[in-house]
Structure 1
């Protein structure tokens, strides 16, 4: 007897090209740049500001993902089928 196997569904093809992903990327880059400049010019007061910028934009990215501007999770994709 031969067995029949079903092919698994294809993974999403957006490769992180979503609004939420870009906001997260820019948040980390901008925050890290502020922290790096603070260390180079010797202004320790800017270090927490750079960290705060990164954290705020990470939270914004999470909110965007939850509101539908990010890649859907595998669980959500499976539920919609």
Structure 2
């Protein structure tokens, strides 16, 4: 497990590429969902793929879903009640 977490481009991708302002979600809930999905997809990629490194592909896939995450996780405006 230690080799999977700290090996390859995982740390580089987690600290520098996944936190890029132009491609990461804007809301705190969206960032949590984005991070969990990146982790799950990377785990599945390494477990079931023949290619050893997939962090770049996972980030490209998840960056395609960032607009959807931002659209679905819209913060409520303070003082406005649901109708």
Superposition TM-score, scaled by structure 2 size: 0.35
Rg larger in 1 or in 2?
Answer: 1
